[in-house]
Amino acid sequence: MNRIFSLIACLSLTACASQTAGVVDRMTHDPNSTNTETILHVWSWNFNTIAENMKQIADAGFTMLQTSPVNACFSPEGGNIRIYDEKEGNWYHYYQPVDWTIGNNILGTEDEMAVMLDSARKYDIRVLVDVLPNHTAFDIDLVTDSFYEAVGGRDKMFHTNGLEGIQDYNDRRQCTLQGVGGLPDVNTENPLFQKYYMEFVNKLIRMGVRGFRYDTAKHIGVHSDPLDEEAGVKENDFWDVATGRKKVLGVSLAIPYDSLFVYGEVLQDRNVPEEEYAGYFGQTASSYGHVLREALTKRSAKNMDLVSWYHRAAPEYLTTWVESHDTYCNANESAGLTDGQIRMGWVFLAARQNGTPLFYSRPMNSTRDNYWGDNLLGARGNDEFFHPEVVAVNNFRKQMDGQAEDIVMSADGEVLVVNRGDKGLAAVNLALEVKTAELPTGLPDGEYADIVYKQTFSVENGVLKGIMQPETSYIIVKK
């Protein structure tokens, strides 16, 4: 038997942490706190679709949802219909801003967004919006005249070398002052741009948005990063403005920053100043996602460490995932994993104390031979977000508030158990064959039935015993 032991805890969204002058310490782990939140990434769903499914999202136990970008974006004639198609549009079009106004022909209008937000309030779901101030559309002629005018003209929109693509992503000058994937790099230190962007953010907040995911966040500089001196930049202060630490031309964040859930897409690599970014927001645990997917692919975690979060920041401030829209769409890194494998990973991840897990909604009717499924932008994703095992672990996560985790696995690494104190556990069989569980647990001795399948398990002398079906998870809560 191979036993992995951990008493790592994490923080709820309202968790306490040491603060100095309004700055949260996101580097020091608090072992006495737990997270309970979960995010459903309603990727490519439009506002009407989200609103129509809000009750099901709430019933599935999710506490937050994350939309795709809501800003005006590249909209070619006859495009923005398909998720991936040479003629009828591609999912990444809404990652090409042409203005910071609300509404596009993928997600819908500002009025439709308002209706969606009203529905979210009714079901007590917090709405996060994916924002991307780092760049514009590839074709800078498509950026609106009003946007250019607002930032002081076209020559003020981009960094000095902003139209040049990054060659070395580990070079912080290139990383923060040149284009990601060829997308023109915005001069985010331009006060006029900051003002215009913050007016957009504040309008979203007034509408009811209560959080943001910052796309390509590691490509917007922090104070230690190189300055674009040719553009007259004196300070890399975008994050100070975006997080409400300072005003820009009389405009500041509309509500206290600590009332928002904000995380940045800071994909892990060499030379990334994670500690500085931690001073502003939570970050993505991209390395952990890679390790978890490796275990799912092998259907075994033998000789693998699934306890460590592989990040310098405190785990209570990490946003975690089994897969993201990028790992699914960009080179289809995770798209080959079956829905069942993703679900097993989700149960394991959501059962843990640490981080805030995000569930990516795959396209409706997608298969491992047809990643795009029905291939319709705006449509609801597949049924996996309300699979009984997903619902069970989402609710389990809330019930386990305050309970320390203890992760154990079988000698072959195919059965994983996340114990949560003496109150409950989640058990996952990664294998494609029936397995017999015989692993330590904190549950009191006795007979138990799991929440979803009513499968019987016993605990004798602190050891969980039971039969586990292939690629199946079980949630057990103390009576």
Q: Which residues contact 201 (CB under 8 A, 6 or more apart)?
A: 131, 212, 242, 253, 254
Neighbour-count burial for 304-338, b at 16+ CB within 10 Å, e otherwise: eebeebebebbbbbbbbbbbbbbbbbeeebbbebe
Is residue 465 within 8 A of residue 457, CB to CB? The reply is yes
As a whole number of angstroms, the longest Cα–Cα distance in the chain is: 73
Which residue in the list 215, 316, 406, 414 is annotated as catalytic? 215
| Distance spanning both ends of the chain, measured CA to CA | 28
Q: Which residues contact 178 (CB under 8 A, 6 or more apart)?
A: 159, 161, 162, 164, 165, 166, 185
Alpha helices in 225-319 (DSSP H): 238-242, 274-278, 286-298
For the CA atoms of the chain, what is the radius of gyration?
Answer: 23
Q: Is 265 a catalytic residue?
A: yes
Is residue 182 within 8 A of residue 164, CB to CB? The reply is no
Classify residue 185 by its DSSP letter: B
Which residue in the list 189, 265, 316, 389 is annotated as catalytic? 265
Is residue 390 within 8 A of residue 346, CB to CB? The reply is yes
Active site residues: 215, 265
